[in-house]
Structure 1
Amino acid sequence: MTAQISTLGELLSAAGTQWRVYDIGRRITKIDKQHFAQIETTQAPYPYPLGGHALLAIQFWDNQATVDPYVWFLKFPLDEQSKLIVASRDHFASMVLEALGTELTGQQADGKLDNNPYVFTPNANKLAAFNALLKTELKRPASQYYEYTELYFSGKLPADDWQSLAVQGLADFAFRLDHGQNSENLQAIWASLPLEVKQPLSAMLEHVAIDTRFSEKLQNEINNSINENNLDELVCNLRAISGSHAQGLLAQSVDTILSSEYGRESDILLTLAGRCWEVFLDSERLFKFLESAAQNTKIEGLFASIFADLVAIPSLRPHVLGILRAENRSDDLSRAIGRLFS
């Protein structure tokens, strides 16, 4: 990079753009500029690593030149302490400067970074959720699919009309739960929704900080799913509550699941690690979770994968490493930890 520009933040500002940064790997989460500057200068680790990488969405716009913002979806490698490998960031920025200079917006920018090795395409659910989030933050109208989705959840359409729902409409609805009666309507119909709707909708709701009332509804549904031996419904309910404002209710639900026969199910363990990681700041709950993961024998390497995932999260790292020194481990957990180093 040039002597004047040493970070992506400086590059975006030098180009005269307004910009925002989001994590798009785990839960779509805004990263404030000061924190991002610390990440870029390796003063702070990346807070939400996934698979050894930082998965970022950088939204930027030029108030004079464009109406719609541009978005870069970027994937940068992290070191063993989850700090940014600066050489990769520098390589990306130098490629941007070579292709675009500091003219990052406008027609000349279109398609210039399509083959950039650090650019990636999120899956369809993430793209829909991110698009819905941006429209709400920019106070733009929802997609053309939103109105039909709103009608469906209000009960004004036949229940079997779900096949006409679009993923983008579900995303727009999830990010507009506070509009009108949307939240109340969804709670009223949630238990009876077909799985074909609940699964993609829960994939959107995991990015939404739902309110306490809806969280209480989902907590009740989690209990029902366990009692009715319905694993698919349980996964949906857990994903839907995972981003809740009511972290206490989420923690209670996780405790209930870990105490049930589903506490060792692969799908549940992966959902808990990937979407509910904050509740494992409680060392006792983390210990119980890793005990459950160690008892899963259906997927080879599952414990090692979950351990590697959690130990990379900076806020969890000391707690996870503390388990290595715990004296009251079960034989299953001791063996699973032993295999990490064999």
Structure 2
Amino acid sequence: MSTSTPQPTLIQVLREAGAAFRLFDMGRRVSKLSADNFERLEQAQIPYPSPFLQHAWIGVLIWHPKQREQNAIWFLKLPLDEQGYLVQAARDDLVHRLLQNAVNARQGALEEDALKDNPFAFKPDQEKMAIFHALAAQATGAQASGYFETAQEYINGELPLERWTDLALQGLADLVVRLDDKSIAAALARRIPELPLPALASIATLLEHAVPPTAVRDALAARLERLLPSSDTDPLLVAALIRGLSNIQDETFKQQQVLNVLQSPHALEPEVIVAIASRCTLALQAPEVLLIFLERLAAGKAGQAGFSRVLADLMFMPALRALIMHAFRNPARSDALSSAIGQMFGQSFAGH
């Protein structure tokens, strides 16, 4: 009686190829993912830590120091089950397709063509792609892009403020991943108070993929505080600034920034509420932040469809699900929130 050979994991395939590789989470923000952790995820030992739209979004950088023509980048989107674990059948199907294509292509080399016609492949947006390339250059010891120098000159004040149109997204991404360089961090913090709004929005959005140093954090928060009272402020700018503050390490400071935004009229704008929902999930674990967030979500301009879509994503995260269910039963909730809950889950639930 023959027994079938167990399907190798994606990590095993990468290790056996003999190339260096690095994994990145590409979901809510771009961040490094350890191979050991991912192997545990693959074997359904732990749920995926940062699900986004009920999937794990993975970037895989593969490089051969001596055979650069074999370098490859894969972007993989894997479905998760209701408890946040990788769907094993999908993972097996992905590995099978990769192996088949790699063998067909060139004696097992893990090249980019291995993802040809693969249903699990995806293309990140421009901003995430720029950050990924900046991090990939660091990981492989490559130089920053040719746009980095202009970005540096701009934040150093060597180019006038109106020359923001000279800035390339890739150059700003190269800058943001180098904020551990104290001179770069200090220059950016000095420049943030006076940046033209389009440049501020671009830099703030990229900052969600870094951990902004204190001086940069404070400069962003001060800009946000100045902009919030004005009804003329573009909601996309408010969303960008809250994203820029979303990865700071001081949770109390972050909760206060989120509360400031939620207590402003801008919180009714779909772009703003989605930025908080998708990037500030740790801040939402504070009950006083969560309740006002749910109230603004229910009253928001995105209507019932927006409420249900955002809640479905948040309730997929185990840490938030129980907190949201508890908040739903708060006797102080408004009629608008009760109505939105009733439309999503049924009136009998809303009446609890």
Q: Which has the higher contact order (CA 8 A, sep 6+)?
A: 1
Q: Which residue of 2 aligns with 1:153?
A: 155
1:130 pairs with 2:132: yes
Output aligned runs, 1:12-161, within 5 Å.
Answer: 12-63=14-65, 65-66=67-68, 69-101=71-103, 105=109, 109-161=111-163
Separation (CA, whole Å) in 2 of partners of 1:177 and 1:121: 26
Q: Which residue of 1 aligns with 2:164?
A: 162
1:260 pairs with 2:276: no
Q: Is the alpha carbon distance of 1:79 and 1:127 closer, same or farther for their aligned partners in structure 2, counting shifts above 3 Å? A: same
Structure 1 residue ranges without an equivalent (≥5): none
Separation (CA, whole Å) in 1 of partners of 2:220 and 2:118: 42
Letter of the 2:184 partner, please give it.
N
Q: Is the alpha carbon distance of 1:103 and 1:294 closer, same or farther for their aligned partners in structure 2, counting shifts above 3 Å? A: farther
Q: Is the alpha carbon distance of 1:130 and 1:333 closer, same or farther for their aligned partners in structure 2, counting shifts above 3 Å? A: same
Q: Is the alpha carbon distance of 1:321 and 1:19 closer, same or farther for their aligned partners in structure 2, counting shifts above 3 Å? A: farther
Q: Which residue of 2 aligns with 1:183?
A: 185
Q: Is the alpha carbon distance of 1:122 and 1:48 closer, same or farther for their aligned partners in structure 2, counting shifts above 3 Å? A: same
With normalisation by structure 1, the TM-score equals 0.91
Tell me which moved more, 286-295 or 183-192: 183-192
Separation (CA, whole Å) in 2 of partners of 1:225 and 1:104: 55
Separation (CA, whole Å) in 1 of partners of 2:65 and 2:54: 35
- Tell whether the 8 Å contact from 1:129 to 1:168 is kept in structure 2 after alignment: yes
Tell me which moved more, 241-250 or 202-211: 241-250
1:246 paired residue among 234, 247, 250? 250
Letter of the 1:291 partner, please give it.
E
With normalisation by structure 2, the TM-score equals 0.88
- Tell whether the 8 Å contact from 2:72 to 2:112 is kept in structure 1 after alignment: no
Q: Which residue of 2 aligns with 1:208?
A: 210
1:171 paired residue among 170, 173, 191? 173
- Tell whether the 8 Å contact from 1:205 to 1:241 is kept in structure 2 after alignment: yes
Shift of 1:191: 2.6
Shift of 1:104: 5.2
Shift of 1:62: 4.0
Shift of 1:122: 0.6
Shift of 1:279: 0.8
Letter of the 2:16 partner, please give it.
A
- CA-atom RMSD in angstroms: 2.2
